[in-house]
Amino acid sequence: MFESFIAHKLSWLSGEGPESNIVFSSRIRLARNISDFPFPSQATIIQNLKILSKIKSAYSDIKGLEDSIFVDMDTLSSLDKQFLLERHLISQEHTIDSKGKGLIVSRKEDISIMINEEDHIRLQTVTSGLDLKKCWTTLSDIDNELNNRVSYSFLADLGYLTSCPTNLGTAMRASCMLHLPALILTKRINKILELLARIFFTARGLFGEGTQAFGNFFQISNQVSLGLSEEEIIDNLIGVVKQVKDQELGARETLMKKYKVSLEDNVWRALGILKNCRLINSKEALSHLSILSLGCDLGIIKDIDILNYGQVKKIINSLFITVQPAHLQKIQGKSIKEEEERDFIRAALLRERLEETIE
């Protein structure tokens, strides 16, 4: 299974779709619980296993999930779980106490269902660029089909009942992954984050809640789902994301006008390190890849013409994931405990991929 995942290029990193030079991906996630069962944290192992069995038997003929893969989380190694986390298919929470937990993943990895995470069901779909409405159309159909097979916990005045009270109502979490290097370089990002918090949106790191913004990536999502329709949540987030995108574009313009030589130096230094390093950790690799990606967007890397720009961006985007520790080990086909050995393999991978891409 994991070999096919490694060979498969994640569609949400394709660099295609609306605003995809800044908005890498859009995601919709729904929390659902099955009636007459306690939430996973309060349930017994036997109850969680019953939930797992119910959902496993319900999904296979749902359109969009026909060829999906079912994964029993309890059978996976810690490396396997980290690999799935790096591919944004599961949360950090789902890697802990795996008995009774499961995962359903579509072959394209654009649709996934975590079973018995914080809630019985966490449905997710993701796509490239700013396209939340496409995500919602896909996920709504799957959600309705699944509800025809299992009964959801729902009250007319509260909406979908969830383990966390902040998810009541639609129980929808809509989010977009944005690449914001210019806002970091111009030191404008803190004001943006403060404003988002005041209007009830959150900004998290590359791997979600509790993670840092490695590679200058931020996941922006709604905080409130009670009292709003799904369409309102999506429209509100689209409006906010477009404003942040405009701020990033303004910051890029400032860098090119006022600090062009310094920016060019940063970009070429990043490329030089990535193409010549012999040891590099994941944090440093993400930082340099972020600056390199910015340089491509702004035309600083002159060797990239319009015809191969898209291909170069796809390769850089894929490297944001494949340089992660679990991916390196899966590519090598073995567990690698020593960080220095991983750093050596990461450097070799970067040299190989970038030598093929940028002369």
pLDDT per residue, tens digit, the chain (359 aa), is 666 777 666 777 777 888 988 999 999 999 999 999 999 999 999 999 999 999 999 998 898 898 899 999 999 999 999 999 999 999 999 999 899 999 999 988 999 999 999 999 999 999 999 999 999 999 999 999 999 999 999 999 999 999 998 889 999 999 999 999 999 999 999 999 999 999 989 998 775 554 556 789 999 999 988 889 999 999 999 999 999 999 999 999 999 999 999 999 999 999 999 999 999 999 999 999 999 999 999 999 876 554 577 778 888 999 999 999 999 999 999 999 999 999 999 999 999 999 877 66
Between the CA atoms of 312, 316, 317 and 319, what dihedral angle is there, to the nearest 10 degrees? Answer: 140
Token couple for 130: 């700013």
Residue 35's pLDDT is 95
Q: Assess contact for 79 and 335: CB atoms under 8 A.
A: yes
Round to whole Å and give the CA distance between 270 and 264. Answer: 10
Residue 72's pLDDT is 95
- Which residues, other chains included, contact 25 with Cβ-Cβ below 8 Å and sequence gap of 6+? 12, 13, 126, 127, 128, 129, 176, 177
Residue 304's pLDDT is 59
State which amino acid sits at residue 212: Q
Round to whole Å and give the CA distance between 50 and 44. Answer: 10
Q: Assess contact for 31 and 118: CB atoms under 8 A.
A: yes
- Tokens 């806002």: give the residue: 183
State which amino acid sits at residue 202: T
Round to whole Å and give the CA distance between 238 and 140. Answer: 18
Residue 359's pLDDT is 62
Quick count: other Cβ atoms within 10 Å of Cβ 218? Answer: 25
Q: Assess contact for 292 and 267: CB atoms under 8 A.
A: yes
C-alpha closest to that of 171 among 28, 52, 17: 28
Domains of the chain: 2-252 (3.30.590.10), 260-357 (no CATH)
- What distances in angstroms separate CA 2 from CA 29, 69, 158, 237, one per listed residue? 23, 11, 40, 33
Token couple for 346: 């990461």
- What distances in angstroms separate CA 259 from CA 116, 249, 254, 256, 328, one per listed residue? 50, 15, 7, 6, 36
The one-character DSSP state at 216 is G
Round to whole Å and give the CA distance between 176 and 99. Answer: 31
Residue 18's pLDDT is 87
Question: In 92-227, at which residue ranges do the beta strands (DSSP E only) sit?
Answer: 102-105, 111-115, 121-128, 154-155, 159-160, 172-179, 201-204, 217-222
Token couple for 276: 């010549």
Q: Assess contact for 103 and 87: CB atoms under 8 A.
A: no
Residue 106 phi/psi, 5-degree rounding, is -70, 160
Residue 279 phi/psi, 5-degree rounding, is -140, 130
Whole-prediction pTM: 0.90
